[in-house]
Amino acid sequence: MEIDTSTPNAGRIYDYFLGGTNNFEADRVAAEQLLRLMPSSRSGARLNRWFMYDAAARLADTGLGCLIDLASGLPTVGYIHDLVPTARVLYNDHDPVIVAYGREIIGDNPLVRYIQSNLTDIAGILDAADEHFGGERRVGISFIGVAYFFDLPVLRDILGALYRWCAPGSKLAISWLAGEPADVARFASSSFAAMYRQLGSPVQPRTLDEVRELLGPWQIEQPGIIPLSEWNGVAQWRGDEAGQEESPLDLYGVIVTKV
């Protein structure tokens, strides 16, 4: 499979922020430009990854043995099935190169499957989940580090489809880039946002009111919708990266349940 290494890719830039090695010179140059515009980008990526690990452990601890990881990305610094080795896990990504890497990492593990599918085809992903989970629909879902790359109608479709499909007791962990309305509007005209638009992956932060509206019928669990920097245990994990935020926007995390 031929890979264009001359054009930066948002997924490989994210891999670079996480300390991964699945990136190329063009990605590293673009990543350093983004870090100059917003130095907390690396810390934000690592916060998202830490939240994914913590959420997967929390979901598994509630007895959920089937986990869906949406827009899984590159196989960098760990996978959910490493943390919860007894769970059935379904990964997905739209990029065939990323999926090929992921399948190579997974190997012949019968509990884990990696499919190529765009999140706009959420019905196809859920069909694959039905097949992989043997019809079990009481599941845990990870939707972390990706919701802010979709516009509102698409997000409503995705979250609505997930809610209708899954059984009561299912849980969804999701992260958001959010802030006050004026700060969200100001972000759109920033050089940082412009660079992501050039990469073909426009970042679309939300207000907290929009986040609550999008979650709709899902029941919000404690501690609620809070900044990832305040999530339990994160201070110890972050170490020297604490205090780097300079943006009025923040990354928020929440776990919700279908009752």
Task: Answer whether 94's CB lies under 8 Å from 117's CB.
Answer: yes
User: How many domains are contained in the chain?
Assistant: 1
Question: What pTM did the predictor assign?
Answer: 0.92
| Residue 27 forms part of a structural domain | no
Q: pLDDT, tens digit, for every residue of 216-228?
A: 999 999 999 999 9
CA distance 92 to 142: 11
Q: Is the pLDDT of residue 171 over 60?
A: yes
pLDDT score, position 227:
94
CA distance 102 to 116: 10
Q: Looking at the DSSP assignment, which residues form a beta bridge with residue 253?
A: 175, 226
> Any idea what DSSP says for residue 71?
S
Q: pLDDT, tens digit, for every residue of 230-255?
A: 887 665 555 545 444 556 799 999 99
> What is the rounded average pLDDT for all residues in the chain?
91
Percent of the chain surpassing pLDDT 70:
92
pLDDT score, position 77:
63
Q: pLDDT, tens digit, for every residue of 12-23?
A: 899 899 888 888
When pLDDT is averaged across residues 167-178 and rounded to a whole number, the result is 98
End-to-end CA distance of the chain: give it in Å, rounded: 44
| Residue 75 forms part of a structural domain | yes
| Residue 10 forms part of a structural domain | no
When pLDDT is averaged across residues 129-158 and rounded to a whole number, the result is 96
Task: Answer whether 49's CB lies under 8 Å from 108's CB.
Answer: no
The residues, ordered by sequence, that sit 6+ positions from 131 with a Cβ below 8 Å of its Cβ are: none
Q: Is the pLDDT of residue 125 over 80?
A: yes
Q: pLDDT, tens digit, for every residue of 73-84?
A: 876 666 899 889
When pLDDT is averaged across residues 98-103 and rounded to a whole number, the result is 87
Of 73, 226, 217, whose CA–CA distance to 159 is shortest?
217
Q: Is the pLDDT of residue 102 over 60?
A: yes
| Residue 1 forms part of a structural domain | no
**Quick one: which H or E segment has residue 142?**
strand 140-143
| Residue 2 forms part of a structural domain | no
Taken in order 138, 209, 43, 21, is the CA torsion positive or negative? positive
pLDDT score, position 74:
74
pLDDT score, position 75:
64
CATH no. for residue 201?
3.40.50.150
Domain extent for 218: 39-257
Of 157 and 74, the structure prediction assigns the larger pLDDT to 157
- The residue with tokens 């859920």 is 126
When pLDDT is averaged across residues 49-62 and rounded to a whole number, the result is 90
Minimum mean pLDDT among 62-71, 89-98, 236-245: which range?
A: 236-245
| Residue 98 forms part of a structural domain | yes
| Residue 46 forms part of a structural domain | yes
When pLDDT is averaged across residues 181-198 and rounded to a whole number, the result is 94
| Residue 189 forms part of a structural domain | yes
Query: Between the CA of residue 72 and those of 62, 76, 96, 128, 209, what are the distances in Å?
Result: 22, 10, 12, 15, 27
CA atoms within 13 A on the CB side of 200: 6
